[in-house]
Amino acid sequence: MNDIDIGFDLNGLRVFEALYEEGGATRAALRLSLTQSAVSAALGRLRKVYGDPLFTRTGRGLAPTLRAQELRPVIGEALNKCRESLALGTSPAARYQGRSVVLGLSDDFEIAMGPWLVRLLAQHAPGLRLAFRQTHSQIVAEMLMAREIDLAITAGGFATRWLSHQALGEGGYACVVDAPAARRRKPAPLTVQDYVARDHILISSGGFIGVVDEVLAALGHQRRVVASTTHFAALPYLLKGTQAVATVPAHAAHAMAGLAGLTVLPCPVAMPRFAVELGWRTDALRDSAVAQVQSVLAAHWGAMPLAPGG
């Protein structure tokens, strides 16, 4: 019979969590300040308790078995409950020490807002680690339900009864170009003819069609896409030294322009605006760390530099 009353070491569950999230015994040992042999011994005890290998060795480290994947949300919730109970006896300054919250967002949000988010949480939840993970509106619901992320900031994608969400604001689009230094002081606005004539860089999860193509098609125009990428971080390198243009969310345009010496121009065609939402699993706010991040983001979003709708 498996029963914690017979002396099961609850620290073994911390080892399970670290192995699952770090994917290797060495990294798990470093995270927990244990020796690798202690982690291996704890894993051996866990395997006996659950009657399953739990993790199998691959070329990239340790991969969880199906049973481990089933156990992950149960063990995670149990550990979080233990942490919350212990937090009641600690000072507010130490309440989030060692905790992590995984925030899903696309890399345009991460580029534009990541540093601000880190500073904000350092102020309102000292000791908490904010882990960014890539997502977007088409996959965010699946990632939240699979507990791969705790919270997410995306342009929608939360339309399911198992998820909660709230509007943070709206965003728009801007054009980014690598204008010659002589023109950077007062760049001429793009005309529709110039815009269509230029080469375009597309940022898209699919890599073929974007919202710009839909807008131009409705106006009887077509652009020439010479390259596409799934990551905004690559855009400055693709634009530098070219006459190409990229049409991206305005917050990302201004952030990248400031860091990479690019120029932001208004779009010469009317682009649709998009909603920016914060979403989470309905039961996730039972975890005080997740609840704190959610409330801080909701309360301070409007004060964020470059925040859509702020």
Domain spans in the chain, listed from the N-terminal domain onward: 4-72, 92-170+274-303, 173-265
Read off the tokens for 146: 């699979």
Q: So what's the pLDDT on residue 258?
A: 86
Q: Do domains 4-72 and 173-265 have the same CATH topology?
A: no
pLDDT score of 207:
67
- At 302, the amino acid letter reads G
> DSSP per residue over 243-266, as a string?
--EEEEEHHHHHHHHHHHT-EEE-
Whether the pLDDT of residue 310 is over 50: the answer is no
Rounded to whole angstroms, the Cα distance separating 18 from 20 reads: 5
Who contacts 225 (Cβ-Cβ below 8 Å, separation ≥6)?
199, 200, 201, 202
For 86-109, write each residue's pLDDT tens digit: 666 665 556 788 788 999 999 999
d(CA 109, CA 252): 7
Is the overall model pTM greater than 0.75, yes or no? Answer: no
Amino acid (one-letter) located at 39: V
| Cα(104)–Cα(61) distance, integer angstroms | 24
Q: Domain 173-265, what architecture?
A: 3-Layer(aba) Sandwich (3.40)
Q: What would be the CATH architecture of the domain defined by 92-170+274-303? A: 3-Layer(aba) Sandwich (3.40)
In the CATH scheme, what is the code of domain 4-72? Answer: 1.10.10.10
What per-residue confidence (pLDDT) applies to 89?
Answer: 62
